[in-house]
A and B are shown apart, each in its own frame.
Chain A
């Protein structure tokens, strides 16, 4: 082996070893000079794959036209919590676009990668698009399911994933809880009883949202699936309108998936300008329209008006109004020993 190639090999091995230590960040080049292509990494959650494929293509085109430099945007998808942990552990994300603000909060708490007030840096709680929680029933709606109350009937089997392992399931749970609170004038005990009865009708507790959808759609288990509206629309669009129907309950939660700049990473890589513009693009009319096309409710009036028939009106409450934000909701409901454990885990035999 020539000495030169030996040096290269040693360097490569060192890089490999160093990249195992997240704090050192491996051997990525600091800063991208003028004219060199810029690479952004968007770490997102599962059901946004198609949305960001379109957004990335549109934004890269716009950026290149404006700045004359090439922009490459990479995507990474997975469960929201898992993705947040990967970023905390050193995955080089420039931006995160996750399912719950709690996951970004943890990127601040555990990794110090985003500043404290990250959620107020962008409009609308840093959520450029929203969604809500709806029901999917089998065509014909044989059990006559119309609203949350119907999910408590003894003849109805409900499919929803485990809130302890699935971010989406936490939205489902909080939507039911919020409905029960509104119905019972804020009575917490009654809300707990309501959600407890609902979970008595859950025959299978999948660990993630896609698993629950499979259980319901492919295995034919359960009468109703509680799901994000964008997932429900995707299911009826792709699997077949002749098989499933979407039922919109009278009251539901405003699901606000947040986006955030990962400051520590963009400053180290010198990609702040591009990453900031990328997130701003999501709020532009073009970005809003792409979101609506991919079944997320847009924030902009224009896009909302254009896609009005797509998204039925429903009375929505926010997590801040009813639960005082994600951190409080997580602690009270989903942490070990919290409300979910008390209402759901059967007593030890």
Chain B
């Protein structure tokens, strides 16, 4: 197609860009600046005391650490699920495909209650795991389980269409040229899906950081051990400490934004590198 002669479907750049900024401003930037404005009622020392107390730091570590772990688990198993869904035909495939989206649709509190029921010491899974000496409910492990649950669809749904685009012929060609399955995977398949995998990882990670409903039930909320940062925000609100709540929220927002920005940059960089190599 000739780029110069192409007529764009939407009207001029100026208008669309302006509208995009207006929309983002109203929906994202304005509410978020409201958040920061509330924080400004604190003095610098008060702000620091709030966001850097040992309890809050422990909660940040837990929230970000568990989210990272859960997202990594989802990268591995999400890729596997996507692979099975794209490459094989089997009875009940439509069912499995629909199941993947369930964690999206489920109210998080329902997810939390369900998971806690399953994993507590008299639950279906919990009773056997506990016999093996593995405690899930009311431990950090339980938090990782909950975050893995809610993050799964992101990886599957971003990787799936990309896998569909990669022809099975490519793998067969690699195999006929004598590549081992592992080599085919690392040199043919992985480069193709890597950007999608990264973006799925980022989405799952971002979602897990802010997760509240599914985690408060399974975590047991013990200070310094299983207390997530969003719970501390609620704790502040219960004390009518709006500024304190927004201070903790603001730090989470800033860290999340930095992480998302970094993830997006890495994604663009891999994209470009791959394009340079293949194109």
A residues touching B (Cβ–Cβ < 8 Å)? 81-82, 85, 106, 109-110, 162, 164-167, 203-207, 211, 214, 218-221, 330, 334-336, 344-346, 348-349
Contacts and interface: CB of A to CB of B under 8 A. Distances in A.
B136 interface: no
Contact of A219 (B122, B223, B241, B244): B122
Main SS at interface, chain A: loop
11 contacts: A82-B238, A85-B240, A203-B138, A205-B223, A211-B216, A219-B122, A219-B137, A220-B121, A221-B121, A346-B224, A348-B55
A164 B239 CA distance: 8
A207 B234 contact: yes
A165 B120 contact: no
A60 to B, nearest CB: 32
B221 A162 contact: yes
B220 interface: yes
A271 B116 CA distance: 45
Interface in B96-113: 113
A344 B222 CA distance: 10
Given A219-B122, A221-B120, A334 B239 contact: yes
A154 B1 CA distance: 78
B116 A165 contact: no
A348 B138 contact: no
B121 A85 contact: no
Counting contact residues on chain B (CB < 8 A from A), the size range is 20 to 34
Contacts of B217: 206, 211
Given A205-B221, A207-B221, A219-B122, A336 B239 contact: yes
B49 to A, nearest CB: 9
Interface string B198-233: 000000000000000000110011111100000100
A32 to B, nearest CB: 32
Given A219-B116, A220-B122, A221-B120, A346 B225 contact: yes
B121 to A, nearest CB: 7
Contacts of B113: 214
A330 B54 CA distance: 22
Nearest to A205: B221
A310 to B, nearest CB: 31
A36 to B, nearest CB: 36
A128 B47 CA distance: 41
A206 B137 CA distance: 12
A335 B235 CA distance: 10
B184 interface: no
B30 to A, nearest CB: 10
B15 to A, nearest CB: 21
B240 A110 contact: yes
A335 B239 contact: yes
B24 to A, nearest CB: 17
Nearest to B223: A345
Contacts of A349: 224
A205 B235 contact: no
B223 A346 contact: yes
Interface in B47-90: 54-55, 58
B265 interface: no
A245 B237 CA distance: 35
B220 A205 contact: yes
Nearest to B236: A336
Nearest to B227: A205
Nearest to A211: B217
Contacts of B271: none
A109 B242 CA distance: 13
Given A335-B239, A336-B244, A207 B216 contact: yes
A48 B72 CA distance: 44
A214 B138 CA distance: 14
Contacts of A82: 237-238
Contacts of A203: 138, 220
Most chain B beta-carbon contacts within 10 A, residue among A82, A85, A205, A214: A205
B117 interface: yes
Contacts of B58: 348
A206 B224 CA distance: 15
Contact of B231 (A106, A165, A334): A165
Nearest to A202: B222
